[in-house]
Structure 1
Amino acid sequence: MKPVQHHMEEKPEPRSPATRTIVSAVLADGRLVETLYMPESGSTAFAVWDGERVGITHEIALGDERLVPYRGDNPLLKHRVVLFPSAATIFEDTATLVAEVAAYIHKYVDVATPFEKLAVEYVLFTWVYDRFQELPYLRLHGEYGSGKTRFLQVVGAICRTPIFAGGASTVSPLFHLLDRFQGTLILDEADFRFSDERAQLVKILNNGNTRGFPVLRSESVNGKEYRPVAYQVYGPKIVAMRGEFDDRALESRFISERSDGRALRSDIPINLSASQADEVLELRNKLLMYRFRRFAEAGNWFEPIDRSFEPRLNQVFSPLLANIEAQETREALRAYARARNRALVDERGVSNEAQLLAVLRHLSVNGPSPAIALADIADLYGRAFAADHLTPPTPRFIGGVLRKRLGIRPQKSHGVYVIPAMERAKLSYLYDRYNVTDEDAERVAAFDTTRALELTFEPLDRQGRVEVGDVGDVATP
């Protein structure tokens, strides 16, 4: 008889929760988590806000996952590439906090008063930007020695999770830093002068003001194979640069100010003292509490700057407007947006597209038929704006501008390309967009040979005769 063998089921060993390093989080129960860094001890921790009070912990257990902060000995923290608060400090009210931030910026930076107010509000906005779907960028541009770097140092240091990218040798680390820390990029554009680096930077700026548009890059897995990697680059950005970007759409994302053209205030310190770092940490701690208090309310309503403005301006600047409580500062932002909108319209008014629309406005009223021929447009455009072009424009060139830049599709009719009547319905909107008026059309009319030929004939008298003098007659004294 064989002995009975008893098999005991082996119990699986309990799995330790997976550890994930984070900077901040919004937990499923609504709690807010933010990283703290204590410079005295070089250690990190989490500040956890439950809606009423702040707790401090070194890790958060979430089922099978354990959340931990970045280590305090991380070189990015030790060398102040990325900055964090050290505590969440109570402040009186938002108006008082705004006044403290304004006093701090005014003490170390000399910019125009309206831009200074907007910079203050932009700092507060960075602490709740993740409640919005779009955001603007802040920029100071001017020649070297005009205070751009000081502006980055002073204003950037009190933004939420500032990432100081001035020491980057290439643009590549920025993708990783933005994706990992999701903070405020503090960028000196002059550090990236070469065309390939500038192109990568433009990708970050083009995709980084709207949530949900990551930048895709191909990265090596094992030195041989490449795979696409998506980097989240959405977030506030403060930029210093000498000039402007060629892309006008990118330019429209910036709240800008020139740093040159004015004498430096005599009370501005030439060098930043050690006490400035203490001021920064004190403000950063209060701004963390501002985030905790403001987060639930931020982003719940939007108000357009002005519905008559360019749609992009309303899209980009409305989130900042929604977070500003002081009516005076709200009006300052509206005034800035009004000037930007006027500049955009004026800039379009002197473009090739505006010139072409002036020709169309004249021909749509005085043309020989409802369908305007591209050959007639090219002929009048070439004579009216000959000084702006080295060679006379061809109908093919005119057709390309109409299709690609103005969204008007010419059609072939009886062997020639024309603008059909149904496409002319778009012209009224384009006239307004490019600020093309009846006066612009009248100026073009002076070059219309068809009209000019009509005006060369003398009007008939009552008997139907034309008074014509003898060509050979010479006036005698």
Structure 2
Amino acid sequence: MKKNVIKASYFITGDSIVEEVLVSGYPDPSIRFAVCNYETKKVSYASDIILDNGAILQPLTGDIITKGVVLLPSQAEPYLSEAVLIKDIESFINCYLDLPHEFYLKLVSYYVLLTWVYDKLSVIPYLRAIGDYGSGKTRFAQVVGSICYKPFFLTGATSDAFIFRMIELVKGTMVINELERINSDLQAQITVILNNGYEKKMYIGRVEGDRTKVPTTFDAFSPKIITSRGKSKDLALESRILSIPMKPTKRKDIPTMLDDSFWAEATLIRNKLLTYRFNNLYALPTQGKEERLNGVEPRLKQTLLPLLYVIQDKSMEDELINYALDFQEQIFSDRSFELEALIAEKLVNLFDNNDKVGVKDVWESINKELDDKEKITTKAVGLRVRGFGFKTKRIQGVYQIEYSQPVILYLKERYSLTTFQEGSPQTPPSPPADSASEVDIVDMGDNRQMTLGKEGV
């Protein structure tokens, strides 16, 4: 009887965590498993594992492993402490990459740490280097990506089928370099992945096979590193991204080329991080830190909380809180330029000065400020008004908006339209529905744009 063979780079058994490792060698590299017992933390190595159900677990093989498409550790190596491990990561990054501030160096280092235990959590933020040509974005992708959990790098020649299968197969860190230079069709697929890959259970549906047309779902949940010249205009997606502003370096000590010594150092760091994963995947404290982000809006809190879980340094926690508040202010500022913010502003102003407000009143007020090409329909206004949480009622052929103080208070805080008066609720209620916007445009630089579908959150 032929035994069932399971190919995987990672597996959980009844008593162990199993991770694939790759020992480089000539002419053939050695592929095997590192197996860590939950209780004893003892690590052993095996070429395959017989599971309780009789199936044989074998490591992934093929070009994606042997040619380094996916970067793996070579073995589990000890580290002195988490504090020393973070310093090792910082030193490695700082040796090969110039980041604009020490805080960003710490932030990136902790993000690297987070990627090695991300599957313990339900949400994972993304990390992005943003800047013009020559600012070090590609170096950022190489250096930071090389020490994340099972990184694989995407280029413009990659197909969407390859991306979906790699995420599903490897469940590692996806590194997307120069997003603007990827063809528009692939950009659209990457956008779908980004909008659905930050949270568990957000599966992406696809139809596979030219003839059979089999419905298939893909799990896109994984860490992702992006480099780009500009920000997305999808503010929901932006709130999931930790952005690092990049500038051309003036340092003379950074190597121009990344030679073999760089890749050897990266492997050593990955080896220590594998041990960190073995030690913390089921021991990571995920309670008691949420209150530190009080005052931060729920979506941003959800984005930053995973980082707080891996930070054990109090001063770094404080710096992250300050970063969160600055990040939130930037989001508020960006929202003020959005169409939704304009609609919210007109709604609030109209209700401040009128007992009755109709959808048409809001529409007329908005279109007075828009160019002919930007003008919107009453239907579009009505969809967004209802998306905020207002109810509308047709009276004598005119859609009137029913006043709702909780929704007005929500809009005032969300779009920074006014300061709350004494006695107002500190945390306005969330609206019953998201914005009804179906399409947003992302500025990709060089006068190019790409279309984003409705947010999948």
Q: Under a length normalisation based on structure 2, what TM-score does the superposition of the two structures give?
A: 0.84
**Letter aligned with residue 317 of structure 2:** R
Match of 2:394 in 1: 412
Match of 1:150 in 2: 139
**Does the aligned pair in 2 maintain the 1:132–1:299 contact within 8 Å?**
no
- Alpha-carbon deviation of 1:346? 1.7
Hey, what's the Cα distance between the residues in 1 that align with 2:229 and 2:376?
35
Residue-by-residue CA offset, 1:242-263 (whole Å, 9 max, x unaligned)? 2222322112211011213x54
Which of 400, 407, 413 is equivalent to 1:432? 413
Which of 237, 241, 253 is equivalent to 2:228? 241
Do the aligned partners of residues 397 and 242 (structure 1) sit closer, same or farther apart at CA in structure 2, a change above 3 Å counting?
closer
**Letter aligned with residue 170 of structure 1:** S
Which of 338, 347, 354 is equivalent to 2:341? 354
**Partner of 2:175: helix, strand, or coil?**
strand
Do the aligned partners of residues 415 and 105 (structure 1) sit closer, same or farther apart at CA in structure 2, a change above 3 Å counting?
same
Matches within 5 A, 1:51-450: 51-52=39-40, 53-62=42-51, 63-71=53-61, 74-112=62-100, 113-166=102-155, 168-190=157-179, 193-220=182-209, 223-260=210-247, 262-298=248-284, 300-301=286-287, 303-304=289-290, 306-367=293-354, 369=355, 371-378=356-363, 381=365, 386-390=368-372, 398-404=381-387, 406-421=388-403, 423-437=404-418
**Does the aligned pair in 1 maintain the 2:77–2:274 contact within 8 Å?**
yes
**Does the aligned pair in 2 maintain the 1:139–1:254 contact within 8 Å?**
yes
Hey, what's the Cα distance between the residues in 1 that align with 2:376 and 2:213?
46
**Partner of 1:388: helix, strand, or coil?**
coil
Identity score, percent: 32
Do the aligned partners of residues 420 and 92 (structure 1) sit closer, same or farther apart at CA in structure 2, a change above 3 Å counting?
same
**Partner of 2:283: helix, strand, or coil?**
coil
**Partner of 1:437: helix, strand, or coil?**
coil
**Does the aligned pair in 2 maintain the 1:156–1:162 contact within 8 Å?**
yes
Do the aligned partners of residues 56 and 375 (structure 1) sit closer, same or farther apart at CA in structure 2, a change above 3 Å counting?
closer
**Partner of 1:28: helix, strand, or coil?**
coil
**Does the aligned pair in 1 maintain the 2:36–2:278 contact within 8 Å?**
yes
**Partner of 2:329: helix, strand, or coil?**
helix
Which stretches in structure 2 are left out of the alignment for 5+ residues? Answer: 421-457
Hey, what's the Cα distance between the residues in 1 that align with 2:357 and 2:218?
48
**Letter aligned with residue 288 of structure 1:** L
Q: CA RMSD in A?
A: 2.3
**Letter aligned with residue 211 of structure 1:** K
Structure number with larger C-alpha Rg: 1
Match of 2:434 in 1: none
Hey, what's the Cα distance between the residues in 1 that align with 2:318 and 2:97?
23
Do the aligned partners of residues 215 and 420 (structure 1) sit closer, same or farther apart at CA in structure 2, a change above 3 Å counting?
closer
Hey, what's the Cα distance between the residues in 2 that align with 1:108 and 1:255?
21
- Alpha-carbon deviation of 1:396? 5.4
Match of 2:423 in 1: none
**Letter aligned with residue 117 of structure 1:** K
**Does the aligned pair in 1 maintain the 2:332–2:416 contact within 8 Å?**
yes
Whose relative contact order is higher, 1 or 2, with alpha carbons under 8 Å and at least 6 apart?
2
Q: Under a length normalisation based on structure 1, what TM-score does the superposition of the two structures give?
A: 0.81
- Indicate whether 1:42 and 2:24 are aligned: no
**Partner of 1:224: helix, strand, or coil?**
coil
